[in-house]
Structure 1
């Protein structure tokens, strides 16, 4: 897989699955990247909110429709726009393992709870500053802070990792064409992508890969900033600095958006934190849970 980890915010305690069960959310808002499975260069927004969505089932993740509350999703999108954050909407959003895997691990299926998916671009340059991801999360959190729903905010993505995701400027012509057009992968291409990622992970674990090594110290420093609520300090992290920890490290934007959404309700406290660098999976993995102090 290309990346992993997540930040869950709401109410409850224990491990992530127990946490989600205790929260018993009325709605889940999941901030997640995409790996050229649903969003392509023919139109590449920095963010997008799904009014309706389906998972494509890449890397053996669940496929099918998400239970998106369309009316609430449209109302949320309007409120975020009114707050000054440009947020396109999609009535036919396609999401990949970055969305499907957390929903499976937390709830067992894609449609067990109402879910509003929010795409956060982390793979397709140009990328905006981290402050925009924070502003997006804050606007979404402010919308729900004024309402009565029990909300679980989920941020999905790896920390340091450099997966073999093709770049438009250097990809072979057929691959570059797909990065733009969004042509579905053939079964052969999907299998080659899967086995190639597995082989690259084995090489990274053996020390023979050309991919960037994982940087656990940087990962832990990022988690420390989230835990202490110092989200504005992340505004000073440049895209160049983030990229030195792998192309996939930009997925921290989803974490920042989720924590900013939680912070809109006031100070919070991280109750569960797990981290492990897993070179075989080409990713620094982490899971945290957090609650409003009040």
Structure 2
């Protein structure tokens, strides 16, 4: 197998509450570089790690992670709706390989996904049906959250299982770095909100529109300095990127759940998707980060990053 990895932040506020033109141009340039990297690599399969924002997974059953053999997008925040082009045969093979390696993997035969999965496919592949994909949900908001060592172990097991397919596989992590958007929490929620978080009642179009407008307004308030969300933390964000770039992935095992939330905000645990992707790449041996972009963007309530990585020349030759 030949492997590569891409990490890409997502935000539902892209195109709805954009930063200054020069910041937007820098983001677009970084994304263009990632697209060029992917075109050159020409993946035969994409393993996509992404979170959910209470559109597909709820407290009634909340796994720490789950692999899909079929997936459909809800179309939130203007993202595409409909089926993802899931490679079911590859998904089943990877799932068996992960379970054989002692990881208690949940499998979904009909996963519901939202913009966390859809946005990277739209941005990097021009749609949700243009590349064979194996979607892997990683919980990043619903407490209690498990230790980081299990996320690294998951990524390693998926990387090893994918290697047995003997294909060009891109591991793609979709998530913010530090960010603290207005995501509802179960603890202390009013009964109506708690019931929705547990049971997962689909919102009406009017309810979804109102909820999305609240998020857009929160981004405007945050950029104006009038919100109480935890600030974007560039120091912590670059610590995350430094750890990934150096390949010192075992260090994440010591990152505590509370520490990550305090440093990076309520949704900082979306970096679990990046860690899983880079652990999958590292399962095939040493790698090097070929590009790295970072910008704190209050308008998107995100420490926004784009990174690409590939196997070293020696690994490519031996692989």
TM-score, normalised by the number of residues in structure 1 = 0.94
1:168 matched to 2:186 = yes
1:289, 1:31 → 2: CA distance?
A: 15
Q: 1:113 aligns to what?
A: 131
**1:43 shift after superposition:** 0.5
2:86, 2:149 → 1: CA distance?
A: 27
Q: 1:5 aligns to what?
A: 9
2:151, 2:246 → 1: CA distance?
A: 18
Q: Structure 1 stretches (4+) deviating beyond 6 angstroms?
A: none
2:92, 2:306 → 1: CA distance?
A: 29
Q: Deviations over 1:206-265 (max 9, x none)?
A: 111111111011101110010000111111110010011211001111000000000011
**1:18 shift after superposition:** 1.1
Contact 1:122 1:250 in 2 (8 A): yes
Q: 2:312 aligns to what?
A: 293
**1:191 shift after superposition:** 1.1
2:295 pairs, out of 269, 276, 288, with 276
Question: Which 10-residue stretch deviates more, 66-75 or 244-253?
Answer: 66-75
2:266, 2:284 → 1: CA distance?
A: 32
Q: 2:62 aligns to what?
A: 44
- Uncovered stretches (5+) of structure 1, i.e. residues with no partner: 7-12
3-state SS in 1 of match to 2:215: helix
Q: 1:137 aligns to what?
A: 155
1:205 matched to 2:192 = no
Q: How large is the RMSD of aligned CA atoms in angstroms?
A: 1.3
2:106 pairs, out of 88, 101, 108, with 88
1:228 matched to 2:246 = yes
1:124 pairs, out of 142, 145, 154, with 142
Q: 1:10 aligns to what?
A: none
3-state SS in 2 of match to 1:163: coil
Contact 1:163 1:282 in 2 (8 A): yes
**1:143 shift after superposition:** 1.3
1:286, 1:14 → 2: CA distance?
A: 13
Aligned length: 285
- Uncovered stretches (5+) of structure 2, i.e. residues with no partner: 1-7, 11-30, 314-319
3-state SS in 2 of match to 1:247: coil
Q: 2:23 aligns to what?
A: none
